[in-house]
Structure 1
Amino acid sequence: MSTRSSQSRATSGPPTAWRRLPVHAVRVVLALFFAFPVVFMLVSSFKPDQQIFGDLSGPRAFLPVGDLSLTNYTAVFERVPALRFLLNSLAISATTVVLGIVVNSLAAFALSRMRWPGRKLLLTLIIATLIVPFETFALPLVWWVNELPWLELNGFGLTLTEGWLDTYRVQVLPFVAHGFSIFLFHQYFQSIPKELDEAALIDGAGWFGIYRRIVMPLSGPAIATVAILTFLPAWNSYLWPLMVVQQEELRPVMVGIQYFFQLNPSWGEIMAYSSMITVPVLALFLAFQRSFINSIASSGVKG
């Protein structure tokens, strides 16, 4: 009996952990490779310019050694209204995410759960919009938003004004509806059993009640994924605010980085500013990475 067990152990090979060691080693190497730029940026944000260039020839460029201080971070707030830019981007991105989740999920619900003629054709057209780059219609979009009316509240009541330029709404509303977000919600909604809708309709619930009480509570991973994919372009937006916003108090963080290249560029300050605008994005992804992966995996189950 003992001979048979020893033979089975001999033929079974190394333990599973040892067999997976090369895979883990490759993953660690790839993680370090992609993390090097972020580590260099964070470490350099605490160094003066002379030390940044002096450390480029060796591994000290990635190590927090030498003359470290918070001088670059304090200089950022003295050189540009960084706090104002951060608050603007946070407000614009958060509003775009909230409105995007509501609008895109409602459109996806109508396309995936309700039956009406032409819905498949409409979904195809929505997906087709993804092949059109933003740069091709940026200039026509500027003309359109400049012609759109808006109701503003003043001391005499509501006043109809024309033009959205130099406002917060011009940085939010054109990017609320997005074809990929609708498609992602649609694919996830397809994986939810439609028998739940039938049971709710028999109980007297309406379509909006099914959307609010059944479908959306079961779509946490899809909501988290759409939130990340909506937040990233809103936070990283540069070309559009540069075209439609002239007032400094309305500009987002990405437009603010051009301030550091106007006179005497200080790379320590540039690294500090870049770190300030990168950390929120990393924190958001790390907080929702599990839901992001689950949504991407489940969205391809049923199409």
Structure 2
Amino acid sequence: METKTNMKQAAAVNKVPKYSMKSRRVFKNIGLYLFMGMLAFIFLFPLVWMLVSSLKSDVQIFRDMKTVHVFIPPLYDSVSAYFANYTQALERVDLLKYTGNSLIYTMGIIAFGLIVNSMAGYALARMDFPFKNFWMAIIIATIIIPAESIFLPLYVLVHNFGWVNTYTGLIVPFIANAFMIFLFRQFFIGFPKELEEAARIDGCTPIGIFFRIIIPLSKPVFATVAIFTFVNHWNDFLWPLVVANDEKMRTIQIGLQYFFAQQPVQWGQVMAALTIATIPMLLIFGFLQRYYVEGLTHTGSKN
């Protein structure tokens, strides 16, 4: 009886017209794309509003706030009028200098951090040494410590070294990062051991294996860590404010505060300055995004 019932069900499924199944797939895809488009609009709304508002005067910004014109750029007779807020913002505050300081600060942490954290992650994933699990537990435990709680002793240490108002004082304290070490470790655990064994047979040292084999095959995790590190430290405010009190060493996030120091606030200039501060993050994510998802997927491997 069960066999006959299954045969009847299969026959009923076969009788379903192909065009109806195709229509269902089409409607399903349309619904999926509409949903994804709505999510994209929600996430991009602040960015688009900021960009369009940077081209408007304060009067236009507040006038269009509750209308659809909030997403529509204004129409001017000259090209220079579109960039008036940018010109005035750059004249008011040396944003290019502050942006350069932020780039040196973040890129320095990324460059040294990728080397230090990747080597630590590789050692924890592939090498055997005493108390390895204990040290891994200690590293993971430090993730829960708020950074603000160690700023005072960290500043005293930096001050005693004479690193105040230097790039060294900005960069060195944040080179080693427990979370980044964990990401590298999780990625390296998934590497096939046969690659390392073949390299050892050929006489390659552990350092040679790491730099010649592991790093070239680890672009996804390096890109993921670079993006995380850039976003985290590009938006830093408290530490650069404490350590870089010289105007020549200030970063872009501190420079943005100048636009709120004088009243009334020129919101068009604020939006222009925020756009300038956002461009580097968009660029680095645009260049590395193809490795981003792959890196996150691999770092989910289990030991």
Q: TM-score, normalised by structure 2?
A: 0.90
**In structure 2, distance between residues paired with 1:138 and 1:126:** 18
Matched, 1:115 2:128: yes
Deviations 1:82-104 (A, max 9, x none): 11111111111111111010010
Assess, with a 3 A threshold, how the Cα gap between structure 1 residues 7 and 166 changes in structure 2: closer, same or farther: closer
* Pair 1:96 & 2:109 matched: yes
4+ residue runs of structure 1 moved beyond 6 angstroms? Answer: none
Match of 1:250 in 2: 249
What is the aligned partner in structure 2 of residue 46 from structure 1?
55
User: Which ranges of structure 2 fall in alignment gaps of 5 or more residues?
Assistant: 1-12
Aligned length: 287
- Measured against aligned partners, the alpha-carbon deviations of 1:42-63 in whole angstroms (never above 9, x if no partner) come to 0010111111111112111121
| Residue aligned with 1:127, SS | helix
Q: CA deviation at 1:10?
A: 5.9
C-alpha separation in 1, matches of 2:186 and 2:247: 41
SS of residue paired to 1:14: helix
**In structure 1, what is the Cα distance between the partners aligned to 2:232 and 2:168?**
16
2:55–2:74 contact (8 Å) kept in structure 1: no
286-295 or 36-45, which deviates more: 286-295
Q: Deviations over 1:76-135 (max 9, x none)?
A: 111111111111111111111110100101111111111112111111111111111111
Aligned AA (2:301): V
Aligned to 2:288: 288
Alignment of 1:185-196 (within 5 A): 185-196=184-195
Deviation at 1:7, TM superposition (A): 4.3
- Name the CA distance, whole Å, in 2 between partners of 1:119 and 1:294: 27
In 1, the alpha carbon distance for the partners of 2:60 and 2:30 equals 38
Aligned to 2:4: none
Please report how far the alpha carbon of residue 263 of structure 1 lies from its aligned counterpart in structure 2 after TM superposition. 1.2
Unaligned runs of 5+ in 1: 149-162
Q: What is aligned with 1:159?
A: none
Measure how far apart 1:218 and its partner are: 0.7
SS in structure 2 of the partner of residue 165 of structure 1 = coil
Identify the residue that residue 180 of structure 1 maps to in structure 2.
Answer: 179
Structure 1 residue 11: deviation in Å? Answer: 6.7
Q: What is residue 38 of structure 2 aligned with on the other side?
A: 29
Deviates more, 1:225-234 or 1:7-16: 7-16
| Matched-pair identity in % | 40
Q: How does 1:130-209 map to 2 (within 5 A)?
A: 130-148=143-161, 163-209=162-208
Q: Residue 10 of structure 2 corresponds to which residue in structure 1?
A: none
Which amino acid letter does the alignment assign opposite residue 63 of structure 1? I
Greater shift after overlay, 281-290 or 23-32? 281-290
- Is 1:267 aligned to 2:267, yes or no? yes
Match runs of 1:212-231 below 5 Å: 212-231=211-230
Deviation at 1:5, TM superposition (A): 7.7
**Superposition deviation, residue 15 in structure 1:** 4.9
Give the match for residue 128 of structure 1.
141
Alpha carbon RMSD of aligned pairs, Å?
A: 1.8
SS of the equivalent of 1:20 reads helix
* TM-score, normalised relative to structure 1: 0.90
- Contact 2:170 2:239 (C-alpha < 8 Å) held by counterparts: yes
Q: 1:14 aligns with which of 6, 23, 27?
A: 23
Match of 1:237 in 2: 236
Contact 2:158 2:164 in 1 (8 A): yes
Partners of 1:269 and 1:10 in 2: CA distance = 56
C-alpha separation between the residues in 2 aligned to 1:8 and 1:87? 63
Q: Is the 8 A contact 2:99 2:252 kept in 1?
A: yes
Letter of the 1:129 counterpart: T
Match of 1:301 in 2: 301
